Chain A
């Protein structure tokens, strides 16, 4: 291998690693706050990328029907809960927020000239019909069992992954999708050619990570999430709603997932089931960080990206095997250094 090949591999690795890092941060966040191991994270990547592909081709994102259906389902569930509490006065707001809003958005977007829309607006439209799925799924699938064991939540999580994967095939078909780059072309750095899209990915990932950090440090909602992550019961006693915290971090996870999909769609063809493997690689990064530390998770994710690009050069057939085997030594090390035994009495 010569220096220029090595540089290309590094570029590849860092690009993918930046995406994995974003995903791993979202996974750590969701796990810390809700104890849910968020397997469907990858589906948000695919949904984001393929919705973007639909919008840029001038079609409405097919996920909008899911957003509307789930919106109506959430409205129903919330209304039943409100009626049981005897709070019928809340009904109009519940219906407006959960069911009417998605329908209005759908109607509004129908009249937009999607194909000729400015690129950032196209992104906004794609996100508009993917991100709400996050809180909706939390409300319907996870909130009713929020107090259950990690194991049960994990099985629910895998079931949600199955549902979204099956629906993904229905919505987007088996053909992959690709979108135009944020900006075409690239430049030469020494002996290697660097695409602008690569810079976009790494830059936006860095901005998003910094944004998340600011959000957690300085905003009241971010602080509420951190409090919930540290001590759920304590946070609830301080008036922080666990339901709100759950929905909030699922919204963030959906946003991060869908946006990651939009970032990579110009450089790789995304299929309805591509997201799963991407999400799992984010997981490998998160596991390196013990599902607890943000900086370690991000570093682990970059490591995964580099390992992946180098192994695809040396042993491309075994690329996935090598990447997923990485967690073995990590787990082994953690296992030998952890003496903590947890006792959940459920």
Chain B
């Protein structure tokens, strides 16, 4: 039977045979594919995962190549030593560039890398110490356990083993706590509200992409034994991006496929087109450009998913099931005594330009109670939620959570203090499974970083995180959907996934924005039971809801808002008979 894993194994075996049987020309070509795939893999991380991009990857390749070329020929350093130096320099440069551009909107990184790519290219070409445009030759071969890897056939295995290691560790990393955070970067507000520092992960992705490129450059220098500025130009940086986009920026194997396709196609076109057109020129540029445009118009995920789908029709469908191994429960926060005030909103005002969305709002929530916030549409309930959770801080007033002022804090710091929320407009990662989405909420309860997960040193913790996520989903009645893609669930259930995700953070205060919207009667009842149970455990719950049966049956206290202001507050029965509230909702009883 053909399975993806077996096909992959067959592919790797075929690649392993290349140096034994193929002609020199093919060996060289496959070597270059491996080198390019390594760079493209970095771009898959950056573009497909992080939603950022860089045109300057060729410059990082050059940084790796020139560092080793210069230090081995002029200072007699060992290539292994220069690899470390190159990586260190690359890390420093990428962090500096990232620091400068990554706080700004997404397009400043690519623009910054264009400038960086051009500058470095001209620097290579003009510095006497680096041999100017002539470059540096006589770079020594790499020495592995006394074995001199001088021939390109011997070096072949170094390149492909490196690439394979990079692919495996990248996949491991993406399938982990920090990997889930990286995969959620496009939805910045939600990710930050889960306590995740999105800037840090964008930095990490850019740094990793740069390091992959640097290693590729180091390999290139010792394969070629000669460097000059040409292969590190901006044009080549753009070519790497085309490889990632054409292959498929969302899948790690897309990088290998894209690198292979572009390298072969280029070789072939450079031969064919000038003959065909009877003129010399860079016609392959035109073809790659047009291909890229076509792919972006018609198949934004690149060619790899298309290939896989065609392949999937041959192979039996992979079942969408799995199992979660039992593990030790994660440590929990100290419970709050019932009745303790955990949240105080004092005279909060929020203005958007001239519009006052919240005016002088007051509110308290205690541990072990459900506080409902109701009011007509446009009363400013969601705005107040955003003020409390730090998504959009208030213009004036004071908000205290667990005795600490939080009105100037970002949503990330507030999440850390034990507040978690759901969103009125569902914000899930549609492509991740329900289980992974929920596990994102438990991010702050893990410690292992991306390096540890790349080498699978995080498995114990990962089991505990996933066990917690599965447990919370089970509690919310989603036990049968653990391995479904979150986007495939009906909207009502997606809202429940958001609640499970919030619960995974073990919050002291839970903010729910219209949790019952889109639920059927029985589902609503189950949700009410769950919230009542959480309340019994001492959790404080603040919810916005329009379903009055749901609110009145569940809430301990109710606050009513109208036109951004505090209209009434009290027990559910008091609110139901309050003439001001009736007027706000029904437009006046005596009219």
Contact = CB atoms under 8 A, between A and B. Distances in A.
Contacts of A341: 188, 192
A344 interface: yes
B110 A320 contact: no
A144 interface: yes
Given A280-B114, A331-B100, A165 B285 contact: yes
B80 interface: no
Interface string B226-244: 0000000001001001100
Contacts of A325: 115, 119
A238 interface: no
B563 interface: no
Given A145-B297, A331-B112, A154 B53 contact: yes
Contacts of A345: 186-187, 427
A145 B53 CA distance: 18
Contact of A320 (B52, B122, B245, B288): B122
A23 B283 CA distance: 27
Interface stretch (A52-60, A166-174, A203-211, A295-303): A166-174
B152 interface: no
Given A151-B51, A320-B122, A144 B297 contact: yes
Interface in B145-183: none
Given A158-B241, A343-B187, A331 B101 contact: yes
Interface string A148-159: 111110111011
A141 interface: yes
Given A166-B286, A331-B112, A141 B293 contact: yes
A335 B51 CA distance: 19
Q: Interface residue tally of chain A, by bracket?
A: 35 or more
B104 A158 contact: no
B123 A331 contact: no
A310 interface: no
B296 A145 contact: yes
Interface in B283-315: 283-286, 288-290, 292-293, 296-297, 300
Given A151-B52, A159-B289, A284-B115, A331 B283 contact: no
B401 interface: no
Given A37-B111, A159-B242, A321-B123, A151 B47 contact: yes
A316 B103 CA distance: 33
A202 to B, nearest CB: 26
A155 B186 contact: no
Contacts of A151: 47, 51-53, 106-107, 110
Interface in B436-485: none
A17 to B, nearest CB: 18
Given A318-B122, A343-B189, A287 B286 contact: no
B53 A155 contact: yes
A40 to B, nearest CB: 10
Interface string A133-165: 000000001001100111110111011111101
A15 to B, nearest CB: 22
Contacts of B578: none
B550 interface: no
B122 A335 contact: no
B292 A155 contact: yes
A338 B104 contact: yes
B58 to A, nearest CB: 13
B103 A335 contact: yes
A346 interface: yes
Nearest to B102: A335
A138 to B, nearest CB: 12
B118 A150 contact: no
B289 A162 contact: yes
Nearest to B114: A280
A159 B296 contact: yes
A90 B119 CA distance: 51
Interface string A37-81: 100000000000000000000000000000000000000000000
Contacts of B105: 150, 342
Contacts of B290: 159, 163
Interface in A110-141: 141
Interface string B44-59: 0001000111010000
Nearest to B297: A144
Nearest to A150: B107
A189 interface: no
A327 interface: yes
Contact of B115 (A291, A318, A327): A327
A334 interface: yes
Contacts of B277: 170
B73 interface: no
Contacts of B282: 165-166, 169
A170 B296 contact: no
B297 to A, nearest CB: 5
Contact of A166 (B55, B103, B104, B283): B283
Contact of B296 (A155, A287, A334, A335): A155
Contacts of B300: 148, 152
Interface string B353-368: 0000000000000000
Given A156-B293, A343-B189, 19 more contacts: A144-B297, A145-B297, A149-B51, A151-B107, A152-B296, A156-B292, A156-B296, A159-B296, A166-B286, A169-B282, A317-B126, A318-B126, A325-B119, A327-B111, A331-B108, A335-B100, A336-B103, A342-B105, A345-B186
Interface of B: 47, 51-53, 55, 99-101, 103-108, 110-112, 114-116, 118-119, 122-123, 126, 186-189, 192, 235, 238, 241-242, 245, 277, 279, 281-286, 288-290, 292-293, 296-297, 300, 427
10 contacts: A148-B300, A152-B296, A155-B296, A156-B293, A159-B292, A162-B286, A170-B279, A321-B119, A331-B100, A345-B187
